[in-house]
Amino acid sequence: MSEPTPVIEIRNLHKAYGALEVIKGVNIAAHKGDVVSLIGSSGSGKSTILRCANLLEDSQQGDIVFKGEPVHWKGTGLDRHPADPKQVLRIRTNLSMVFQQFNLWAHLTILQNVMEAPVTVLGRDRHEVEGAARKYLDKVGIGDKCDVYPAQLSGGQQQRAAIARALCMEPEALLFDEPTSALDPELEQEVIRVIKDLANEGRTMMIVTHDMRMAADVSDHVVFLHQGLVEEQGAPDDLFGAPKSERLQQFLSSTNPT
The pLDDT tens digits for 122-137 are 999 999 999 999 999 9
Task: HSE, CB side, 13 Å, CA atoms: give it for residue 63.
Answer: 10
pLDDT range class, residue 256, cuts 50, 70, 90: low
Express each pLDDT in 45-72 by its tens digit.
999 999 999 999 999 999 999 999 999 9
Strand 173-177 with 95-98, pairing = parallel
Phi, psi of 7 (to 5 degrees): -70, -45
Contact, 95 vs 53, CB < 8 A?
yes
Whether pLDDT at 235 is above 90: yes
The average confidence (pLDDT) of the chain is: 94
Identify the CATH class of 8-255: alpha beta
Question: Could you tell me the residue ranges of all domains in the chain?
Answer: 8-255
Q: Report the alpha-carbon distance of residue 239 to residue 230 in Å, rounded.
A: 13
Packing angle of the helix pair 155-168, 110-120 (nearest 10 deg): 20
Read off the pLDDT of each residue in 20-34 and give the average, rounded to a whole number: 95
Indicate the pLDDT class of residue 257, thresholds 50, 70 and 90.
Answer: very low
User: Rounded to whole angstroms, how far apart are CA atoms 169 and 93?
Assistant: 7
pTM comes to: 0.93
- The residue-averaged pLDDT of 242-258 equals 85
- 2 pLDDT band, cuts 50/70/90, is low
What would the mean pLDDT of 239-252 be, rounded to a whole number?
95
Contacts of 91 (CB under 8 A, 6+ apart): 54, 55, 66, 69, 71
**More confident position, 183 or 28:** 28
Quickly state the pLDDT bin for 101 (edges 50, 70, 90). confident
Query: What is the mean pLDDT of the segment spanning 71-98?
Result: 95
Band (182; pLDDT cuts 50, 70, 90)? confident
